[in-house]
Amino acid sequence: MDKKNKKVILEPEKSKKYFYYYPQLVVVIGVRDGDKVNFMPCVWNTGLSYDPFLYGVSVGADRFTCKMLNNVNEYSINFLGFEYIKMIRSLGRSSGSYTDKSNEFNIGYSESVLINAPIIDVAYYSLECRKKSSELYGDHVLFVGKVELMHLNEALAEDYIINTKIVSPTLYLGVDHYIAADDNSLISLKNLPFHYKTGEKKKSKK
In the window 132-171, what residues touch its own copies (CB under 8 A)? 132-133, 135, 137-140, 142, 144, 147-157, 160-162, 164, 169, 171
Sequence-separated contacts (24+) of 202-205 with Cβ below 8 Å? none
In the window 16-55, what residues touch its own copies (CB under 8 A)? 17-25, 27, 43-55
Number of alpha carbons in the 13 Å side-chain half-sphere of residue 60? 9
CA angle 10-15-18, nearest 5°? Answer: 50
Helix (H, G, I), strand (E, B) or coil at 135: strand
Q: Does 73 bind its own copies (CB under 8 A)?
A: no
Q: Does 89 bind its own copies (CB under 8 A)?
A: yes
Q: Does 98 bind its own copies (CB under 8 A)?
A: no
Q: Does 1 bind its own copies (CB under 8 A)?
A: yes
Largest CA distance in the chain: 68
**Of the two residues 72 and 180, which places its CB atom closer to its own copies in the complex?**
180
The window from 33-41, 66-74, 119-127 that contacts its own copies (CB under 8 A) reads 119-127
Shortest Å distance, C-beta 74 to its own copies:
16
Helix (H, G, I), strand (E, B) or coil at 14: coil
